[in-house]
Amino acid sequence: MTGNTAQLGIELARGNWHIVTTIGLVLVAFFCGGIVSSIIRRMMQPPVLELLLMALLLLVAQVLRLAQNVSLRWELVLLAMAAAMQGETISRFSGVALQTIVITNNLLKCAKAFVDYCAEHLCGAPRQGKGVHWAESALPGMAWVSYAIGAVSAALIVARSDYPLIVPMILLGLVIGFTLAFERGQAGKSE
């Protein structure tokens, strides 16, 4: 969903509302797929049901692709839901955690933490492990929102400036400065 988030920011800045709507639907579908997958995983350990749902989503998407009068938008929505389920279901191989998707993981973590938090605090479900703090639900979502804001900001800067890389260079300089100051502070504490 990294590319979709970046493209959403660009299209928002350009005012291409039809494309914004399509990408927004894809992002919402992905998040919903993560929620559905998290709910299923709370109810049952083996991922058989999730795998079957993914296969069904792919089948329906293929049928839509073959249909002449169906918008590509709905195929994309189904594929986004399947991708979210993949990211939530297929993440361990021989006991080793391996991600099959990248920044998209922030949306999945937010969806899972949201389901866990609601299940424990609103539905009275028993805690799994240490329990879920609200920040565990909010932080991954906030990371994704930050990425989206960055994409919109970048698109606006590119559209209005001949020097769009100045802002990221300044921000990078600030990050470097803060990092060096932090490392010096840590080195001073260890002496």
Backbone φ and ψ of 92, nearest 5°: -130, 130
Closest CA relative to residue 83, chosen from 66, 100, 60, 67: 100
In whole angstroms, what is the distance from residue 57 CA to residue 35 CA? 15
Average of per-residue pLDDT values in the chain: 80
For residue 55, give the amino acid letter: A
Summarised one tens digit per residue, pLDDT across range 32-51 is 999 898 888 888 766 777 77
Residue, of 25 and 72, whose pLDDT is higher: 25
Summarised one tens digit per residue, pLDDT across range 73-92 is 888 899 899 888 888 776 65
Average pLDDT rounded to a whole number, residues 89-111: 63
Closest CA relative to residue 84, chosen from 144, 129, 139: 144
In terms of average pLDDT, the best of 13-22, 57-66, 119-128, 142-151 is 13-22
